[in-house]
Amino acid sequence: MAPAILLLLALSAAQPVEYEREGGSGTLTISPGANGVKKFGISAFGANAHSCELGGTIKGNVGRVYENEPGQPECLINFAQQGGAIEVTAQSMEACSSMCGARATFEGKYLLPPPACTPGANKAAKAGFLELYRAKQYQQAFDTLNNWFAQCANLQHWMEADRTRNDLAITLYHMKQPSACLATLSRTYAAEMKSMKAVEAELAPLDYEAYASTAKATFHNLKICSK
């Protein structure tokens, strides 16, 4: 089926449809409208808690935001279907700059989450893992979390992904698999930076505050899995 037809099908849904941006840093909601004009809303965030909040209408593949200021260039947005995703791009970021903080953008690839990666399914998978982990059923706990993560990692914010990697790693430690524990932790940002000092130096202040506990857990788990 042609990409343009897929997009029209997505935009013609009777109920609002929510897409997740790759990397877990934004959502796109498309709602039904009248006379072939749909409504959209985008909520996205970038570094240091900078964010974008905008909404408007879509006709064809072009969106127009509600918040255009009088006398200013109109912020026009392209919504292009690429396979199972919608690629969102501004026709002119200069015209759309007022929609976002300095370290944020609404552009990117937005994906329809598979059933395993909806908010309710995410919560259930994590709760199931925790229950099994506390019961010391480590293999089952690992399988539950790892199977979920394999499907949903691309929709997780990198900080959340690193928290999951730590949960998987410490479970592998209890399964007497220290090498696998270290391999899992090696894919975290903290392990790449090699020290808390480097993590703090590289991250924006609010990002460091949000990530510090995960980084500390990573270095602790690296230490115990190295023994």
Domain shared by 106 and 121, yes or no: no
**Strand, helix or coil at 75?**
coil
Q: How does DSSP assign 194-207, residue by residue?
A: -SHHHHHHHS-HHH
Q: Of the segments 6-15, 94-103, 190-199, which one has the largest average pLDDT value?
A: 190-199
Cα–Cα distance, 53 to 7 (Å, whole number): 23
Q: Which domain holds residue 160?
A: 115-225
pLDDT at 1: 47
Strand partners, 31: 39
Residues 25 and 37 placed together within one structural domain of the fold: yes
The C-alpha R_g of the chain, in whole angstroms, comes to: 21
b/e burial code for range 103-114 (CB count within 10 A of at least 16 → b): ebbbbbbbbebe
Point out the domain boundary residue: 64, 89, 111.
Answer: 111
| Residue 216 backbone phi and psi in degrees, to 5 | -60, -40
Domain boundary residue, one of 111, 144, 165: 111
- pLDDT for position 56: 93
User: Residue 7 has what pLDDT?
Assistant: 56
179: pLDDT confidence band, cut at 50, 70 and 90?
A: very high
**Residue 70 shares a structural domain with residue 163:** no
Task: List the structure tokens of 184.
Answer: 């899992």
Same domain assignment for residues 153 and 92: no
C-beta of residue 84 within 8 angstroms of C-beta of residue 19: no
For residues 128 and 85, membership in a common domain is answered with: no
In this structure, are 63 and 139 located in the same domain?
no
Average pLDDT, integer, range 16-21: 93
- pLDDT tens digits for 29-75? 999 888 888 999 999 999 999 999 999 999 989 999 987 666 778 89
Instruction: Please say if the pLDDT value at position 6 is more than 70.
Output: no
What is the number of H-type helices and E-type strands within the chain? 9, 8
- pLDDT(5) > 60: no
Residue 192: Cβ within 10 Å count: 12
pLDDT value for 94: 86
Average pLDDT in the 86-92 region?
94
pTM recorded for the entire structure: 0.85
- pLDDT for the residue numbered 81: 79
When divided into structural domains, the chain yields a total of 2
From 111, 132, 147, give the residue that closes a domain.
Answer: 111
Q: What is the pLDDT of residue 169?
A: 98
Tens-place pLDDT, residues 119-174 = 999 999 999 999 999 999 999 999 999 999 999 999 999 999 999 999 999 999 99
CATH number for the domain spanning 176: value is 1.25.40
